[in-house]
Structure 1
Amino acid sequence: MCITLPFYQAALSTSRREVCPDENGVCPVCAADRSVQFSENNTVGEVVANISVQSGVTLRFSKENSDNPFRLEGNQLVAARVFDYEEKTNYDVEITCIETATGSQLPLVIVVLLINVNDNPPVFDQNPYYVRVSEITPVGTSVGRFAATDLDKPSQLYYTLISKTNFFKLRSPTVPDLLVETVLDYDKVNNVQLVLYAQDTPLTAKDNTASFTGTTTILVTILDGDNRPPWFQPCTKHDVGGALVCQSAGYTGRVVLNEQETGVLPLKPGPLYAIDGDSGINEEIMYSFLSGNDAGLFEINPNTGNISMLKPANVLGNISLTVLE
């Protein structure tokens, strides 16, 4: 036998999904699941929840709201618009059940929990990123982390780095730390362009799961490090084991025995002159004699490198001057 209770008794049964009759033989006049799950990106008119009502009972929303995202169609709660999880994750729908014969009313609340659907791409907060790295940065050093964000909040994002060189790499497909992979050389390459991709599904996924990708560019400027000595000019450049050196044949000059040369001592192939081997730094060169001037015959201008005689040479032979710059 099915017994219909008055509204004040039936209200006790709205906290769970009701069946008629329930375990107590009671038929609630108005009942529904207390909470329902509903996917975002739905179609308008899609059924959100079914409401069980007895004969002679009508439904209406407890509060009039012109912007109500739901509507009632008979005993069904349906979507009046397309929902977006990133905008709002849940709704409390307040409904009043009205018994037509007596006018008695029963409140009914359905909590609609939106299900998040993967519908947003990962996004980087900059495009491009600018990075400056010294050429003497050790291999394996991190020069920055470039993580993307995703409104869908997936448990993990996956990254791929694209480059025409092998100077940089990612720490791993899931950790977007940019690491120095090989020794850098300012004189060979001083600008590198990298493209970084972020994907919201595993890179090797083979199913038909929706997948979105975000992209950014990383522009790396390689700075000259202070790792080369000055180079006397002219010189011939050689690559020795990956290191660039510049070999000078030295300078020669002649003086007359027992005669003092006036002015700047003429040298071949040209005046004494050096440049900083680190062209990007180009520090000022200072000159001094390291050896060969024990007799004090010559002096050198510390700023220009010009050599002049202080007194005549009284010994016949070669004089070898070593200049430190």
Structure 2
Amino acid sequence: CFVPQDTKVNTTVIPESELEAQDQDKDDTLFYTLQEVTPGASSFFSLVGVNRPALQLDQPLAFNRLPNMTFHLLVRDTQEEDAVPSHTAQATLVLEVQPADLRPPWFLPCVYSDLYVCVQAQYYGAIPTGHKLPNPLILRPGPIYAVDGDRAINQRIIYSLVRGNEDGIFVIDADSGNLTMTKSVPSPKTFLLMVKGDQEDHARYSVTQVTVEPWVAPPPKSLHEGSGNTTRAPPSHGETVRGSK
């Protein structure tokens, strides 16, 4: 039986008419028991009642935790399990969770994540002034990269710049997310770029920020730095220079 991941709690996923047993001898009252085979499965599903074998959903499904669940459905014609005589039968129920598009793309690495949410990354980099970098920017904590938050669906992510790209200084590769310069920056400036990661079907998207700051240039070296020579100021009037005559 296929059960969509976004099925609402308290929904009947298998009706009673498909699970009820028939007593061929006489019209006895039948008693049903649901036993989990997959550990933890009974926290998701239960029977509507001991005499009503309809299967209902008790909590939201978690595809990443339990994509498949198996149960044994037991039925007997006596209320007590150890009653004599008692006739029993057993059926096996196999439920397969179908992934649903529930989450937007996640920019990695997540600052925090669990099965349901990602506090996504922001990125930081630096560029020189008056010089165009020939290669994609090196960013912290890593390159711009997003994945479908629903890993089982795994839609392709398309990247774009949606804000902060004054004068068209930057361009982003729609497939890889690589950020490159189109021209140099004439004076030091900090850019706050908003990057959008869109699912290929455009059903969901996420936005993160890339902060690009100017490189801090090292102080200029003195004329004689590194030559091994030391330049002294000429002696002032009346000063005696050792070794002179």
TM-score (norm 2): 0.70
Q: Aligned AA for 1:150?
A: D
Which residue of the other structure, out of 177, 183, 186, is the alignment partner of 2:60? 183
Which residue of structure 1 lines up, in the alignment, with residue 215 of structure 2? none
Distance 1:308 1:291 in 2: 16
Q: Does 1:138 align with 2:13?
A: no
CA–CA distance in structure 2, aligned partners of residues 258 and 205 of structure 1: 85
Determine the C-alpha separation between the residues in 2 that align with 1:153 and 1:245.
54
- For residues 153-175 of structure 1, give each alpha carbon's deviation from its aligned partner in whole angstroms, at most 9, with x where no partner exists: 52542211122431001122222
Deviation at 1:218, TM superposition (A): 1.2
Separation in 2, partners of 1:253, 1:217: 57
Q: Note if contact 1:260-1:310 (Cα within 8 Å) is conserved in structure 2.
A: yes
**Pairwise CA RMSD of aligned residues?**
2.2
1:244 aligns with 2:121: no
What corresponds to 1:157 in structure 2?
30
- Determine if the alignment matches structure 1 residue 273 to structure 2 residue 145: yes
**How far is 1:140 from its partner?**
0.9
Q: In 2, Cα distance between the equivalents of 1:292 and 1:224?
A: 36
Q: Are residues 1:174 and 2:44 paired? A: no
Instruction: Give the letter for the 2:70 counterpart.
Output: Q
Provide the rounded CA distance (Å) in 2 between the counterparts of 1:265 and 1:292. Answer: 16
The answer as to 2:99 corresponding to 1:227 is no
Instruction: For residue 149 of structure 1, report the CA deviation from its aligned partner.
Output: 2.6
Counterpart of 1:180 in structure 2: which amino acid?
Answer: L
Offset at 1:205?
Answer: 8.6
**How does the TM-score come out when normalised to structure 1?**
0.54
User: Aligned partners of 2:97, 2:162: CA distance in 1, in Å?
Assistant: 34
Structure 2, unaligned runs of 5 or more: 198-245
Going from structure 1 to structure 2, the CA distance change for 1:154 and 1:311 (only over 3 Å counts) comes to: same
Distance 2:128 2:34 in 1: 67
Which digits, 9 at most, give the CA deviation of each residue in 1:76-132, with x for residues without a partner?
xxxxxxxxxxxxxxxxxxxxxxxxxxxxxxxxxxxxxxxxxxxxxxxxxxxxxxx22
| AA aligned opposite 2:97 | I
Is the Cα contact below 8 Å between 1:257 and 1:313 reproduced in 2? yes
SS of residue paired to 2:8:
coil
Unpaired runs of at least 5, structure 1: 1-130
The offset of 1:244, in angstroms, is 2.4
Q: Segments of 4+ in structure 1 off by > 6 A?
A: none
Count of residue correspondences: 190
Shift of 1:209: 6.2
Amino-acid identity (%): 35
Q: Which residue of 2 aligns with 1:84?
A: none
- Once the two structures are TM-superposed, the CA of residue 265 in structure 1 deviates from its matched residue by 2.2
Write out aligned runs for 1:1-325 (5 A).
131-145=1-15, 146-163=19-36, 164=40, 165-201=42-78, 203-204=79-80, 210-239=85-114, 244-325=116-197
8 A Cα contact 2:108 2:121, kept in partner: no
CA distance in 1, matches of 2:171, 2:190: 17
Which is higher, the Rg of structure 1 or of structure 2?
1
Change (3 A) 1:237 1:212: farther
- Asked if 2 retains the 8 angstrom alpha-carbon contact of 1:154 and 1:200, the reply is no
